[in-house]
A and B are shown apart, each in its own frame.
Chain A
Amino acid sequence: MSLLEVDDLRLYFYTKRGTAKAVDRVGFRVEKNETLGLIGESGCGKTTTALAIMKLIKPPGQIVHGKILFQDRDIVSLDKEDMRELRGKGLAIIRQEAQNSLNPVMSIGKQIAEGLLVHDKIGKKEAWERAEHQLGLVGLDTKMISHFPHEFSGGMKQRAVIAMATVCRPQFLILDEPTTGLDVIVQRQLLSLINHLKQELGLTALLIAHDLAVIAETCDRVAVMYAGKIVEHSDTVSLYRKPLHPYSQALLSAYPNLKGEKKQLRSIPGVPPRLINTPYGCKFEPRCSYALEACKHQEPEMMYQDGRYVACHLFQA
């Protein structure tokens, strides 16, 4: 049994300009103790998928179809009370840019202990002690427990945010762009911390990023998302060694290298897709250099082949 299973999820935003299919027939599983990466261009629906799992989608967004099974319970049909119960200890999320939304007038210690007081029914003193321990775990000086967010650098804030999300020892953690916007050295330190916590706490996680290298360093498997859909899903090593979907290939070949011969910089040609009034057929067809006639009219189904999933007409039997 997978810890988390998303099945045929469809989540639409009903806007004035039309219906945006931000998540369209998305399915994946995450097994216990594994980290799944979700990668794709800006606006392809990564955060929306994550927020759906946390049941944090607000109008005009709406889940119109599908199941999200966490330990075999369907999150889609849970009520507010059950969901509150589940957050923190069951499911936790580090939201995109969370380091910028810390409460400026509350000490870091209090913000970490808050989750414990809500979910663990323990006293203030014990909560404070565990918050202190938690700071050490994420590599911060425990003396900083009574400091306020403005005294922290960007990287230290992100460590505090990780401490907050993991203090109740959630069974499933979502990290939405945990290192984006931070500088390289801080990013390296955070990647080491994430990998350390995966071991230390036996985390099961969904890690969202638009940087292939960040995914390569942290994830066991990867789902590649394009225009609200998952187009390829495989173990990380196979995907990087031999990407099957033309979009995955384009992502990999557009990635600039630090070592070795200097490549000519080349972005993926064409424009990023719209989510409103999308044409029939494969969403990547207008930018794909291998497109067939069928790609224009018919949406490719997800195919299973040698332990990998790919949705592309080139691979349809």
Chain B
Amino acid sequence: MNKQTPLLQIDNLQKHFSLQKGWKSVFAPSKAASLRAVDDITFELHPGEVLGFVGESGCGKSTMSRTLLRLIEPTQGVVRFQGRNILGLSRKEFNPYRRKMQLIFQDPFGSLNPRRTVAETIRQTINIHGLAHSRQEEAKLIERTLDLVGLKPIEEYWDKYPTLLSGGQLQRVSIARVLVLQPEFIIADEPVSMLDVSVRIGILELLQGLQKDFNISFLYITHDMITARHICDRIAIMYLGRIVEIGEADDIIQSPLHPYTQALMAAVPVPDPTAAPPNLPIKGYVPTDPKETVASCNFIQRCPYAVQTCRTQKPELRFVNNRHQVACFRLDF
């Protein structure tokens, strides 16, 4: 779809957490006793692109985000940002990248300091990164940023403390704090899932506008297919640390091929009281015991179509057409 060099290239990214406790984990660490929260992820993100990552709670979305930004160190893999492997960089070499890559959190209530006003929150970021050379410049920058995120009239928000703001307004402050750094890449980790449906749309409109006006690339993390459909160019479906399907948003929504994607679609509630409630094709929960899927497809316990091959091998992503990939043995039959 896009011939320019990718902004971000992820290759075989993995992050395992040890499940062993006590001395054994130090002297006799065992491979089986680790949780593969990110179990081999490969994808590219192009400049100005919005790529959605959709999956249930616990499937590794946040762990992957943190690993990409080096907030936690990966077990294995390569993360290239503008062609450079940032995982190999020293702390000092990594510093200039830190500003370009930013994260917006799910919980606007917990991610802001309650003792700082809106202006102070943004001022702190400005100071940490030395973005302004005078008081005046600083005030201008805060003003412009508040304007960008739609906290208007500015005077009304300048001196407000977080407790006096609504969830949607708080999320705008978190976005402002990130935006003042002029990032090229933003990971929005469930930025609207704590918000009311009608407030949600406003925040998504804002993110969409930023992508258009400043050509910022986004990873939009969510478990909600509806919002993903509306703001993403492409969507990746994630299950237990792997991408099971990835493609253009329209293709994923109109012809979901992986049984897990189909389940995510069927789960969406329908705003029509006369519609028959959809049947969920899968059962149960995201399994918590990683041992059971060491050799098999990660989706095996919940898959209604599993066959013998699925028990003994892991399916790789394969192209079904030049813009749509799926990891499922059923497509070979």
Binding site for B on A (CB under 8 A): 41-43, 153-156, 181-189, 191-192, 195, 210-214, 216-217, 219, 236-237, 240, 251-252, 254-259, 262-263, 265-268, 272
Contact = CB atoms under 8 A, between A and B. Distances in A.
B202 A187 contact: no
Contact of B271 (A43, A182, A183, A216): A216
Contacts of B264: 184-185
Contact of A42 (B167, B224, B266): B167
A246 B286 CA distance: 42
A79 B33 CA distance: 57
A288 to B, nearest CB: 15
Contact of B269 (A41, A213, A254, A263): A213
Contacts of B193: 181
Given A217-B270, A256-B230, A192 B277 contact: yes
Contact of A155 (B226, B282, B285): B285
A259 B253 CA distance: 8
Given A211-B269, A216-B270, A255-B271, A184 B224 contact: yes
Contacts of B269: 187-188, 191, 211, 213-214, 216-217
A272 B271 contact: no
Given A183-B223, A216-B273, A41 B201 contact: no
B58 A153 contact: yes
Interface in B226-244: 226-227, 229-231
Contacts of A258: 225-226, 229, 253, 265, 268
B300 interface: no
Given A187-B267, A256-B226, A237 B273 contact: yes
Nearest to B271: A213
B197 A212 contact: yes
A213 B267 CA distance: 11
Contacts of A257: 226
8 contacts: A153-B57, A155-B285, A184-B223, A184-B225, A188-B269, A192-B280, A210-B198, A255-B271
Top 10 nearest A-B pairs (CB, nearest first) are A213-B269, A188-B267, A183-B223, A267-B201, A213-B271, A267-B202, A42-B196, A236-B273, A184-B267, A216-B273
Interface string B247-277: 0000001000000000111111111111101
Nearest to B288: A153
A240 B205 contact: no
A195 to B, nearest CB: 7
B166 interface: yes
Interface residues of B, number: 46
Nearest to A240: B273
Contacts of B280: 185, 188-189, 192
A55 B279 CA distance: 38
Contacts of B268: 184, 188, 213, 258
A31 B224 CA distance: 34
Residue from B223, B225, B227, B253 with most neighbouring chain A CB atoms (10 Å): B223
A212 B202 CA distance: 17
Contacts of B265: 258
Given A256-B226, A258-B225, 8 more contacts: A42-B195, A185-B56, A185-B267, A188-B269, A216-B275, A256-B229, A258-B226, A262-B229
Interface string B204-238: 11001000000000000001111101110000000
B196 A210 contact: yes
Nearest to A42: B196
Contacts of B286: 153
Given A183-B56, A211-B269, A258-B226, A217 B285 contact: no
Contacts of B277: 191-192, 195, 217
Contacts of B205: 265-267
B196 A265 contact: no
Contacts of A219: 273
Residue from B195, B198, B223, B273 with most neighbouring chain A CB atoms (10 Å): B273
A240 B196 contact: no
A295 B209 CA distance: 34
Contact of A181 (B194, B226, B267, B288): B194
A156 B284 CA distance: 10
Contacts of A181: 193-194
A277 B224 CA distance: 37
A289 B125 CA distance: 40
Contacts of A42: 166-167, 195-196, 199
Contacts of A237: 273-274
Contacts of A240: 271-273
